[in-house]
Structure 1
Amino acid sequence: MKLPRLSPRQTPYVLLLPFVLLFIVFGLFPLAFSLFLAFQTWEPTSGLGAMSFVGADNFLFALQDEWFWKSLKNTGWLALVSGVPQHLVALPLAAFIHASFKRLRNGVVGAYFMPYITSTVAIAILFSSLFSTDYGLINVGLQLLRELPLIGVLVPAQTVDWLNDPDYIKPAIATLVFWRYVGFNVVLYLAAMQTIPRDLYEAARMDGAGRLQQFFYITLPSLKPMIYFGVTLSVVGGLQLFEEAFILTQGRGGSDQAGMTTAVYLYRMAFDFNDFGAASAMSWLLFIVVGLLTWLTNRAFRPSKA
């Protein structure tokens, strides 16, 4: 059987059809259904017929829920503490790799990028062992630092229970997130640095500018679009933090819910408490927060009017 010949006007639409169908089924429909659920009360074990329209009650419940606000505070703390150091370390590190490594550059970059492409579950299990109270290497290192005359004063006197103490569980999660994503930002900035014309640096050297001056007056201004891109990814990703916190706290948020992010709380609300309506409402509130902070980031990086 001979297939009908497509005209030049029909061909683009036929080629786009598989993507459009997949986007509708796996992208658009879940979003629309989540928005629909936000105005319903529903326990999935009772079937679709058990849905009941409740208006804005789910949103009001979310805004009055102390755990929801606490999860937002935890998420903001983790996004700030793990996100800002990522860029403060990745920028000078990328500049150092760009200036110091030539033949070995790809290998060095691959080593820094490896944590980003490694399974999140494997990384979280590794860090669970590192933060172990009795046998973790981090506590062993702290024990060695306690024996030093000057540094030992700054180290906690007792063994730290990283994954159960409410005061330490957020720093433990932030350390994991920083370690995993700093290499990704290094790759972003290094790729952008390679597009900067070398003539600028040669002219600066001829004028007597040192490496530090070249970094602040040539590299940083040229990297502003990539910094905006990287910071935006950190904001969006930090507010959606889930796997690291979920595994380190065993899906419960830790003691006093100190490590419970908003994404973890949404999961618990839906699958532990069987309240998909409230979970959907909270997810849309989180979407509004992400959109607002992304807009503020865009405003911060917008070129100033002369």
Structure 2
Amino acid sequence: MLETEKEKVKVKRAKESLSERKKDMLSGYLYISPFFIIFGIIGLYPALFSLYLAFQRWNGLGDMEFVGLRNFSIILQDPLFWKSLYNTVIMGLMGTAPQLIVGLILAYLLNLTFLRFRNVFRVAIFMPYVTSMVAVALVFGVFFSSNETALANYTLGLFGMDPVNWRTSEWGVKIAISVMVFWRWLGYNTIIYLAGMQSVPKDVYEAATIDGANKIQQFFYVTIPLLKPFILLTVFFSTVGAMQLFSEPTVFLGNTAFTRSEGLTVVMYLYRDAFRLSSFGTASATAIILVLIIVIVSAINLLLTNRMGRSRGNRG
């Protein structure tokens, strides 16, 4: 009898313990539920609805009509889509690749112990990132004005070059927008690299100095390999940002941004279909294609960056 009673007490305690665990789990899920609810409403639902719309014909008001893969066929046969993809890739390479390299160098310089007024330089280099796009548009609108006296054309004149119509010429538009992207996002990547460099123990540099490595060798064979996670992060973010380029060309070109092809990007092409032509089906199909392109390009970039880091580490 005593053993039976003891078993009953054990079972009862086990059930109470289990119920307490369930209460703790439930309270934990309740605490984190706001994030998932907001994500589901703002993020997941629009993504799933866009995937559904990619196979429909819909103008935003009337009834939807299932068209299968026709929207994708229309986009892939549209020369303007391929032109927008070409513009996106070219301006992405011109605007983001240099900023990653220059940002790495600037971060190394800002991390030097003997540099005076380091905090002032750090704030100054981060200022473009927090600057309003309206102010950026005004500044670069004056800088890349088509007048011969504009700063960009005046600088070209000093080297004996003819002035460029930056807002209408094919490469003038691309260069101007790429410079805007470079100027605006350089400080963001620099701060990330600087944070990574400050996490590297000073003992590593002291050991490299004792082994006879100079500053340049330390940069290539100590700093860069240890910054690999930060480099992968910036490469990924820069790739995604470059493929989603929208604000800079739209602000720089103004009212003509969606009527000309020199600076048209994939996201602008998507926006034009949805909100100017009321073709939400093709716009959603463009979004799906863009997601696939971003995934492929990001995977290639990460793979190349990984291989470069390994080969550099092996040589070191």
TM-score normalised by L of structure 1: 0.88
Amino acid of the structure 2 residue aligned with 1:166: E
Inter-partner Cα distance in structure 1 for 2:178 and 2:114 = 29
Match of 1:51 in 2: 64
Which one of the candidate residues 207, 213, 220 is aligned to 2:224? 220
Q: State the Cα deviation string for residues 177-211 of structure 1 (Å, max 9, x = none).
A: 00111111110111100111111111121222211
Which one of the candidate residues 173, 190, 197 is aligned to 1:193? 197
Which one of the candidate residues 288, 293, 296 is aligned to 2:292? 288
Give the fraction of aligned pairs with identical amino acids, expressed as a percent.
Answer: 41
Residue 84 of structure 1, CA deviation: 1.0
**8 Å CA contact retained: 1:94, 1:190:** yes
**8 Å CA contact retained: 2:108, 2:194:** yes
Match of 2:139 in 1: 126
**8 Å CA contact retained: 1:253, 1:261:** no
Inter-partner Cα distance in structure 2 for 1:7 and 1:211 = 58
Match of 2:271 in 1: 267
Amino acid of the structure 2 residue aligned with 1:274: S
Residues 87 and 14 of structure 1, relative CA distance in 2, 3 Å threshold: same
Count of residues paired in the alignment:
289
Which one of the candidate residues 219, 229, 235 is aligned to 2:233? 229
Match of 1:9 in 2: 25
Inter-partner Cα distance in structure 1 for 2:146 and 2:220 = 43
* Alignment pair present for 1:242 and 2:276: no
Which one of the candidate residues 292, 301, 306 is aligned to 2:305? 301
**Structure richer in helix, relative to its length:** 2
Match of 1:24 in 2: 40
Residue 105 of structure 1, CA deviation: 2.4
Residue 301 of structure 1, CA deviation: 3.0
Amino acid of the structure 2 residue aligned with 1:14: L
Give the secondary structure class of the aligned counterpart of 1:258. coil
Inter-partner Cα distance in structure 2 for 1:71 and 1:26 = 27
Which one of the candidate residues 97, 105, 112 is aligned to 2:110? 97
Give unmatched runs, 5+ long, in structure 1. Answer: 1-5, 146-150
Give unmatched runs, 5+ long, in structure 2. Answer: 1-21
TM-score normalised by L of structure 2: 0.86
Inter-partner Cα distance in structure 1 for 2:85 and 2:48 = 24
More deviation, 244-253/177-186: 244-253
Inter-partner Cα distance in structure 1 for 2:36 and 2:132 = 30
Inter-partner Cα distance in structure 1 for 2:102 and 2:83 = 29
Inter-partner Cα distance in structure 2 for 1:178 and 1:8 = 49
CA RMSD of aligned residues (A): 2.1
Residues 132 and 199 of structure 1, relative CA distance in 2, 3 Å threshold: same
Inter-partner Cα distance in structure 1 for 2:73 and 2:114 = 56
Match of 1:139 in 2: 153
